[in-house]
């Protein structure tokens, strides 16, 4: 029944997007509060703050070396993809913020989408059914990449919005409805969710924060998101399989 609920929500989200009109990128999105240059680097703080994602990826490398962190090989692969995508965000987002426009934004969104959906597959596998997580990993990654390519080709953000925000809604539901497979799972994912929520608020209130802090909210968005990722990967690096062995439900 719980699996049907998740599947029904996913089907409903896809159906809803079919009835929503095209969503265009707001040109004002690129007008960040802090556009100051430093050391010859335009938008310096928005560019430089992306280095935090490289730091955030480091616990993922430690996790990948630990046999106890993964019960199955596909989970290690999903974590490797997530870790690599987070590191790639540091470069893709810095590249975009150097000269923010729609063409450069593609290089920011592509690795972010890979990170979102490799994480989503991992949580599905841990919480709902390992077989489902393994089977969905590459289809989800393909769907995510296709959504970004579709936006680039058509200017329509609908499918990119869905592949970003549906996992953000579904992961807390998976945590609430299904038992964990590993120790510390809820704490690790809770920190990640808190970092993501803080990042979205800081992004949304970038200009308002800019009236108080010259930096605006966007560099702090990068730091909040990176902190959430670091907390999650730190948890993965420390976790172990719960006993009695997890059974898919």
**In the 8-state DSSP scheme, what is residue 238?**
H
- The helix (H) or strand (E) run that includes residue 156 is none
What domains are there in the chain, each with its CATH number? Answer: 45-238 (1.20.1070.10)
Instruction: Calculate the alpha carbon distances from 144 to 11, 55, 99, 212 in Å.
Output: 16, 24, 24, 36
pLDDT tens-digit profile of 54-112? 999 999 999 999 989 999 999 999 999 999 999 999 999 999 999 999 999 999 999 99
Q: List all residues 6 or more positions away from 154 whose beta carbon is below 8 Å from its beta carbon.
A: 22
Query: Do residues 234 and 188 touch, judged by C-beta distance below 8 A?
Result: yes
Three-state secondary-structure class, residue 180: coil
Bridge partners, 186 (sequence order)? none
Torsion from C-alpha of 197, 200, 201, 203, nearest 10 degrees:
160
Query: Do residues 224 and 198 touch, judged by C-beta distance below 8 A?
Result: yes
pTM (2 decimals)? 0.93
The whole-number pLDDT of residue 14 equals 84
Helix axes 73-98, 102-123, angle to 10 degrees: 160
pLDDT tens-digit profile of 190-207? 999 999 999 999 999 999
pLDDT confidence of 244, banded at 50, 70, 90? low
């Amino acid at each position: 029944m719980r699996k049907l609920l998740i599947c029904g929500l996913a089907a409903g989200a896809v159906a809803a997007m079919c009835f929503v009109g095209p969503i265009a990128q707001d040109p004002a999105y690129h007008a960040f509060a802090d556009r100051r240059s430093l050391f010859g680097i335009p938008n310096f703080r928005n560019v430089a703050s992306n280095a935090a994602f490289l730091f955030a990826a480091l616990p993922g490398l430690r996790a990948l070396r630990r046999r106890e962190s993964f019960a199955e090989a596909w989970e290690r692969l999903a974590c490797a993809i997530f870790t690599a995508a987070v590191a790639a965000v540091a470069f893709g987002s810095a590249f975009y913020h150097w000269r923010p426009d729609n063409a450069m934004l593609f290089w920011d969104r592509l690795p972010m989408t890979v990170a979102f959906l490799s994480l989503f597959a991992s949580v599905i596998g841990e919480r709902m059914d390992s077989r489902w997580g393994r089977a969905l990993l590459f289809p989800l990654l393909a769907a995510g990449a296709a959504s970004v390519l579709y936006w680039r080709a058509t200017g329509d953000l609908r499918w990119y919005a869905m592949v970003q925000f549906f996992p953000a809604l579904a992961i807390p539901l998976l945590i609430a409805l299904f038992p964990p497979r590993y120790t510390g799972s809820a704490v690790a994912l809770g920190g990640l969710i808190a970092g993501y929520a803080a990042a979205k608020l800081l992004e949304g209130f970038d200009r308002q924060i800019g009236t108080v802090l010259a930096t605006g909210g966007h560099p702090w968005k990068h730091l909040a998101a990176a902190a959430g990722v670091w907390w999650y990967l730190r948890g993965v690096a420390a976790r172990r399989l719960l006993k009695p062995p997890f059974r898919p439900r």
